[in-house]
Structure 1
Amino acid sequence: MSTIQGITENDIANYLANTPGFFERHAELLGSIQLTSPHGQRAVSLQERQMEMLRDKLKGMELKVMEMIRHGQENVAIADRLHRFTRAIMLTTNAADLPDVLVNELMHQFMIPQAGIRVWGGAPAFAALSFAKPVSEDVKSFASSLSLPYCGLNSGFEAAQWLEEPSAVMSLAMIPLRHGPTTNAFGLLVLASSDATRYSSDMGTEFLVRIGEIASAGLSRLLPAA
């Protein structure tokens, strides 16, 4: 930092900041000060530089507002899709149709390439249907151990074999179906993609949790009456 006879730039800056009357007494200096424009190497006056800074600040604020609007629009679109998904489940009168309706609506509303469901411990009337096919004890234990949906690469999960094209599954999300956070799972919902980055271990799971809660509520109709 440059000095003039022991006076530093900080000393000058502090003096000007603490002496507001200085430029009132030396108003001619304001018009003669020349600064370098950040938008080029041309010299500009102090007033012009202040206007440029103000324009840049306003531009930054405008971009932030536009970003907030964009996120707001995206959130509204997601809420609309979730509403249509929930409505389709609620309007399904035949309980046996629920798994197919749920899977098809998920794939359609949220552009999910593949999805599948397994439910265990269901009512005997549904035992012959595809969603009630047997699963291993490992799958049941894994589903019950999940406090949040699992998201990550497909490392040979049994659940991937429930899908139409298991060989195409690179990443997946597995969502436990249960009555509450402290109960064992009665099923597992699988969402899959051929994109290895679609479902990653560091992604947020709040939305998937909501999907799981809605699916669990609807599919509980498949269980024996308490």
Structure 2
Amino acid sequence: MTEKRQRKILVVDDDRLILSTLAQGLGKLGYEVMEAADAEEALARVKRQRPDLALVDVRLPGIDGPALARRLQEEFGVASLFLSAYDDRDAIEAAAAAGGLGYLTKPCNVQDLVPALELAVCRARDLAALREREAKLQQALERNREINVAVGVLMERFRLSRQVAYERLRQRARHHRCKVRDLASQVVQLTEAVNSFLEDHRSAKTQR
């Protein structure tokens, strides 16, 4: 097995035979496997050691698979790939609403899981990196009012997302070899000047 596939996978299934089969099969393929028969056991294991991905059965006793997936993501930043014997619409929609990175039906060959696992791990890492960038952006905006206001102006004027608006501002600052904060200050000042001019113009028209 290549180094690229050496991942740590949490497998959660209340069927002990399936759990053991998946764990042994994935272990033979080079994965490090963490096993759990229910949500509580899964959460306890993840508190001690973080996996790259969770392979979760949709229907678990107590806390069900989708609810577990939400907690794994929100509390530990661990994404989930669902595995279930059921392929009805309700189960699939519940998995999608919980942020699942995929939905596989049982029974399945362990070898056939590998492409889905690898794709899900890569996507999970991309999403984690995106969330980290967004968190850093939010922190930067909270620290500086003018950058926050300038980004808001660009978002409204050009219908951009917050991330894209900030990137445009940062690229422009780099192009002009100035600090983002200084460029943001100019944007805010110009916006305030234009707004003031328009307000004066409207007032003058009203007085006529």
For the aligned pair, the TM-score class normalised by the smaller chain equals under 0.3
TM score, norm. by length of structure 1: 0.23
Between Structure 1 and Structure 2, the one with more helix by share is: 2
Q: Which has the higher contact order (CA 8 A, sep 6+)?
A: 1
Larger Rg: 1
* TM superposition score normalised by structure 2: 0.24
